[in-house]
Structure 1
Amino acid sequence: TDENNPTSFANIHCIPSTAPSPTTAVPYLATKCVDSVHHNEKSTKWFTPWGPNQCHKIRDFEEATVKKIEANNIVFAVHIPGPKIEMSPWFQFMLVVLQFEIAFKMYNQIDDGAVVTIDVGLAYRDDTFSDWTELAHSVEQRKLSCNFTAVKTFENEGRYYDCNLLPFMELGSVAHKYYLINIRLPVSERKKTNVGIGEIKDIRLVSIHQNGGFTKVWFAMKTFLTPSIFIIMVWYWRRITMMTRPPVLLEKVIFALGISMTFINIPVEWFSIGFNWTWMLLFGDIRQGIFYAMLLSFWIIFCGEHLMDHTERNNFSVYWKQVGPIAFGSFCLFIFDMCERGVQLKNPFFSIWASDVGTELAMAFIVVAGICACLYFLFLCFMVFQVFRNISGKRSSLPAMTKARRLHYEGLIFRFKFLMLVTLACAAVTVIFFIISQVNEGHWHWGEHTVQVNSAFFTGMYGMWNLYVFTLMFLYAPSHKRYGDEQCGGGQGSNSGEDLQLTTTVTHVDGLTEIYKMTGKEAQE
């Protein structure tokens, strides 16, 4: 960083920690290269800031003025990564943000609503001697958001504006070793292009990519957890098909949740190491969206099916008022993602944050999504409260049972309450994770505040989801064992024709339903 420049990236640095961040941010200062081709002609040359074929450089724009070099002949070049370093497919993606360093001049101030037109090209190569191959080229516009904290006087000329980070580029894969960015700021008085943007001194970029070490840990987790969930899912469904009755709604939803968990677990990311699959970010968002929708819907149905006072159960249509908004919200998430990452498959320089309308829409989306997530959690807490109140009101039937039966059902109720509390805790952590991930991802677009998220948080969340789904299928799988009064000394008063299955589930044998329907007289009988 430049110690004399107040807008340098002093806040971007590496801090050793036990659980490092999943991503790394690397700052770059663009080199000012001189293009000898006249600005009316098209230059096919790539300008490299260093190396054997490096460009002709100038130190600053004062030198360009002395040498009579026009602004249209200056190319800002950035080589990613730095010397003696290579990029790797293990980095998975590359997000680049931009910041202009603009000096204050009394007769060249930044106009209100100033927009910078950027003519940018991206090239790659996999060795240090071959020619650069163009990957993308575009002419983009970015609105400046700069503040001058000092008083605008002649004495303060030369001081820098405080400019926000601007979205610049996003690649869905890092398949090549070296990348080269060439940026031009074309000036045209007639077309009012790049007029009123102040005196730009330098351009700084920040490249954010996933850490290779975190990628390997992430892949290892997915590779290990995929067969675990798949095996328990097959075992769970086999137990259900062994029953003489058809599966109930809750069992179907648990199985669907297992399928969505398996879908997000499948480590297809391994192929991104050998193939240039730029759509992996979008595919990952779709997989996560499907799992979120299934998980949120499951929690609603899970609580609703255990409200035993409701006469209509075991019917998916009963929950359309709750599941419908979840499906609609998931569809809106998909459309929002396609509007940015879908377009970036063709143009990596496109950003929905580049325009005022897009920024307001994106900010509104993040705020609304966070509010909806909080409201959903409050509604889920209300449903869990109803279930607990329902159970407490029905436990009066337990004392009328035999001791063995009472202990059996009290064990079922205890395990069920514990599972409901675990569900509530899992929901709370999931909502917090969703909000933090949205804020953390948006930080590079709007700047200012960020939330530090380390690898332990991501892997912990992922492990929690898998453990939760595994536990659900294990506890709610139908049992083949039998539990009757004759096993617990029921004697002659016991009814061997009313044997109950010994199982941890409380739905498919209607264990709690039987408790709820019993009166003291019926229990004695």
Structure 2
Amino acid sequence: MAGAIIENMSTKKLVIVGVILVLFQVFSFMVGGLIAPSPTTAVPYLATKCVDSVHHNEKSTKWFTPWGPNQCHKIRDFEEATVKKIEANNIVFAVHIPGPKIEMSPWFQFMLVVLQFEIAFKMYNQIDDGAVVTIDVGLAYRDDTFSDWTELAHSVEQRKLSCNFTAVKTFENEGRYYDCNLLPFMELGSVAHKYYLINIRLPVSERKKTNVGIGEIKDIRLVSIHQNGGFTKVWFAMKTFLTPSIFIIMVWYWRRITMMTRPPVLLEKVIFALGISMTFINIPVEWFSIGFNWTWMLLFGDIRQGIFYAMLLSFWIIFCGEHLMDHTERNNFSVYWKQVGPIAFGSFCLFIFDMCERGVQLKNPFFSIWASDVGTELAMAFIVVAGICACLYFLFLCFMVFQVFRNISGKRSSLPAMTKARRLHYEGLIFRFKFLMLVTLACAAVTVIFFIISQVNEGHWHWGEHTVQVNSAFFTGMYGMWNLYVFTLMFLYAPSHKRYGDEQCGGGQGSNSGEDLQLTTTVTHVDGLTEIYKMTGKEAQE
């Protein structure tokens, strides 16, 4: 009976395949570390104070540009506004993105903007506890320096201030600035235009208690973060190359299964589903974002990643469960509903959370679930629950792997008398299976380690004359690693055309004594160790 390729491939060929995969893995890290630039760029901006001559009770449809043609009438500070009797409601904070002689590009993929207030300490104008700033903000765009600005979005938002004053609150320290945290401000899912303009108003109303008790705001600073165009091109190239690779091996894998006389078993179906999810995440639909203003690409990318990770987590559970030979019920998806159900529920909850954030941002790019206390508590609850579930899942997976290892070791000690060649064959299969399980755990561990490294280092290392972009290496390396992992699973677990016959097991009478059986690493219905367990009878039970 033919088993999987992992059972019938010689050790020499298996080593060669392993070396090739390692070389591809190293190459994927090198692509990001040595070729691609840093994944993102952060650009700081200081808002320009423009004067709106229209009375604050009237509606102004004018856009205020801080520089270039038709630039606004500017003031240096609020002291100048006081001298010229300019009210706070007639001051507009204007930010032009990008700076002079620079253009934005669709290759930047997205634009995330955070905001920070510069607030001076005044004894008679301090920041109240729980102070909330009301922001009347508009976003416009144009594709040349002469046409009129076109409104892209407009909203009235609230942001809760989180500021600390490190010095003693005395008259001597008046004029010193609070230390205020960055606040979420805006997120665009595409950068389809060359120029963007942000106009911010801070309307003041004593009657409505709007922007009262927020201190003396001196300036507004913004930080715009976008993906680097060079990294985008490298990322697209990787996806374009890997998509046909995974698709071809997936078609080849399923063709081999359909050639079998038996129907596919559960493990084969799950591996094929994992290949489909990997292909889905690989398809480089991002190429269309260069020519189309698809603002939903960030949300679509999150959905694709969620599907893949949910499928991967479910696969690991089923993979271990199908190799636990003491389980009488296998090859049945309903057996795993207690393990796979929570994964599906957790993935659905994360999808709802993502829709509450990026789904709403499709209509209002200034919306943030972190802007309110309720939203922050809800978001933190999601993060904490997700973290706890991830830890519990990893511990449960390690327990299942331990069970499988202990199960195999127990069965191996109960093997009946066999020829030396056949015993070595089974021992080799056991070693290969254990090695594959350890590689699986190593992939998960490497992902976590590189994620931590990317967060705590400065983003790049200097290696001789070369600069290694660690964050870029993390993205391309992890992406390449999971593609190689799925590729390897489909290749090694595809049905083999070889048959484990007399010549391989050394011939002789022992070859015909019922030992022509598959081991636990096979994906066929016949489970070798289970059969061996039955053959040994009372001896095995003891």
Uncovered stretches (5+) of structure 2, i.e. residues with no partner: 1-6, 12-27
Q: What's the CA shift string for 1:455-496, capped at 9, x where partnerless? A: 111111111111110111111111111121255442245329
Q: 1:520 to 1:392 in 2, by over 3 A?
A: same
- Mark the CA change 1:181 to 1:52 in structure 2 (over 3 Å): closer, same or farther: same
Evaluate the alpha carbon distance shift between residue 368 and residue 492 of structure 1 in structure 2; reply closer, same or farther with a 3 A threshold.
Answer: closer
**Contact 1:34 / 1:75 at 8 angstroms: preserved in 2?**
yes
Preserved CA contact (<8 Å) 2:34 2:468: no
- Measured at CA, do residues 18 and 437 of structure 1 come closer, stay the same or move farther in structure 2, by a change above 3 Å? closer
In 1, Cα distance between the equivalents of 2:42 and 2:123?
35
For residues 398-420 of structure 1, give each alpha carbon's deviation from its aligned partner in whole angstroms, at most 9, with x where no partner exists. 46111221122111111101001
The 1:69–1:448 alpha-carbon spacing in structure 2 relative to 1, beyond 3 Å, is farther
Change (3 A) 1:503 1:334: closer
Do the aligned partners of residues 382 and 492 (structure 1) sit closer, same or farther apart at CA in structure 2, a change above 3 Å counting? closer
Q: What does the per-residue CA deviation read over 1:260-298, in whole Å, with 9 as the maximum and x for residues that have no partner?
A: 000000000000000000000000000000001100000
Distance 1:242 1:15, change over 3 A: closer
> In the superposition, relative to structure 1, how do residues 387 and 142 fare at CA in structure 2: closer, same or farther (>3 Å)?
same
Residues 1:487 and 1:303: Cα distance change in structure 2 (over 3 Å): closer
Contact 2:40 2:228 in 1 (8 A): yes
CA gap 1:261/1:17 in 2 versus in 1, 3 angstroms: closer
Shift of the 339–12 alpha-carbon distance from structure 1 to 2, 3 Å rule, reads farther
Once the two structures are superposed, what CA deviation does each residue of 1:371-412 show, in whole Å capped at 9, x if it has no partner? 211111111111100000011111124461112211221111
Q: CA deviation at 1:517?
A: 3.5
CA contact (8 A) 2:8 2:496 kept: no
- Work out whether residues 113 and 186 of structure 2, in 8 Å CA contact, stay in contact via their aligned partners in 1: yes
Q: Is the 8 A contact 1:377 1:428 kept in 2?
A: no
Partner of 2:30: 13
Q: How many residues align?
A: 520
Does the 8 A contact of 1:165 with 1:444 survive in 2?
Answer: no
2: CA distance, partners of 1:61 / 1:6: 79
Closer/same/farther in 2, CA of residues 408 and 315 from structure 1, 3 Å limit: same
Alignment CA distance shift 1:272-1:373 (3 Å): same
Distance 2:462 2:302 in 1: 18
1:155 is aligned to 2:172: yes
Any conservation in 2 of the 1:175–1:275 contact (CA below 8 Å)?
yes
Change (3 A) 1:65 1:116: same
Query: Does the residue aligned with 2:93 lie in a helix, a strand or coil?
Result: strand
Structure 1's 42 and 360: CA in aligned 2 closer, same or farther, altered over 3 A? same
Classify the secondary structure of the residue corresponding to 1:353.
coil
Rounded to whole Å, the distance in 1 between the matches of 2:436 and 2:423 is 20
Deviates more, 1:425-434 or 1:53-62: 425-434
Give yes or no for contact 2:65–2:96 (8 Å, CA) kept in 1. Answer: yes
Tell me: CA distance 1:23–1:12, structure 2 relative to 1, closer, same or farther (3 Å).
farther
Aligned pair in 2 of structure 1 residues 459, 346: CA closer, same or farther (>3 Å)? same
Q: CA 1:356–1:465 in structure 2 vs 1: closer, same or farther (change >3 Å)?
A: same
Matched position secondary structure for 1:12: helix
Cα 1:14–1:400, aligned 2, differ >3 Å: closer, same or farther?
A: closer
Q: 1:365 to 1:133 in 2, by over 3 A?
A: same
Q: Percent of pairs identical after alignment?
A: 98
User: Does the CA contact (< 8 Å) of 1:478 and 1:508 recur in 2?
Assistant: no
Q: Is the Cα–Cα contact under 8 Å of residues 451 and 474 in structure 2 kept in the other structure?
A: no
Question: Displacement, 1:21?
Answer: 3.3
Contact 1:142 1:355 (8 Å CA) reproduced? yes
Residues 170 and 213 of structure 1: CA distance in aligned 2, closer, same or farther (over 3 Å) = same
Q: Aligned to 1:399, what secondary structure does the other structure show?
A: coil
Inter-partner Cα distance in structure 2 for 1:501 and 1:371? 39
SS of aligned partner of 2:451: helix
Report the alpha carbon displacement of residue 370 of structure 1 after superposing the two structures with TM. Answer: 1.6
**Do 2:36 and 2:230's aligned partners in 1 also have CA atoms closer than 8 Å?**
no
Summarize the Cα distance change of 1:84–1:142 in structure 2 as closer, same or farther, 3 Å threshold.
same
Q: Is the 8 A contact 1:500 1:509 kept in 2?
A: yes
User: TM-score, length-normalised on structure 1?
Assistant: 0.90
Query: For residues 407 and 179 of structure 1, what CA distance do their matches in structure 2 show?
Result: 69
Query: Is 1:361 paired with 2:378?
Result: yes
CA distance in 2 between partners of 1:241 and 1:188 (Å): 73
Distance 1:445 1:193, change over 3 A: farther
Task: Please say which of residues 442-451 and 18-27 is displaced more in the overlay.
Answer: 442-451
DSSP-derived class of the 1:470 partner: helix
2:32 and 2:473 in contact (8 A); partners too: no
Q: How far is the alpha carbon of 1:369 from its aligned partner?
A: 1.3
1:173/1:278 contact within 8 Å kept: yes
Q: Distance in 2 between matches of 1:14 and 1:409?
A: 40
Asked if residue 276 in structure 1 is aligned to residue 280 in structure 2, the reply is no
1:230–1:513 distance in 2 versus 1, CA, 3 Å: farther
| TM-score w.r.t. length of structure 2 | 0.88
Question: Once superposed, what is the RMSD of the aligned Cα atoms?
Answer: 8.2
**CA displacement, residues 218-239 of structure 1 (integer Å, 9 cap, x when unaligned):** 1111111111111111111111
**Counterpart-to-counterpart distance in 1, 2:470 and 2:45:** 23
Answer 1 or 2: higher relative contact order, Cα 8 Å, separation at least 6. 2
Q: Which moved more, 1:435-444 or 1:297-306?
A: 435-444
Which whole-Å CA distance do the structure 2 matches of 1:289 and 1:440 have between them? 27
Contact 2:320 2:404 in 1 (8 A): yes
User: Does the 8 A contact of 1:397 with 1:516 survive in 2?
Assistant: yes
- Structure 1 residue 23: deviation in Å? 1.1
1 CA distance for matches of 2:294 and 2:481? 28
Change (3 A) 1:51 1:16: farther
Seen in structure 2, the aligned counterparts of structure 1 residues 420 and 342 have a Cα distance that, compared at 3 Å, is same
**Higher mean C-alpha deviation, range 251-260 or range 370-379:** 370-379
Give the gaps of 5 or more residues in structure 1: none
1:434 is displaced (CA, Å) by 7.7
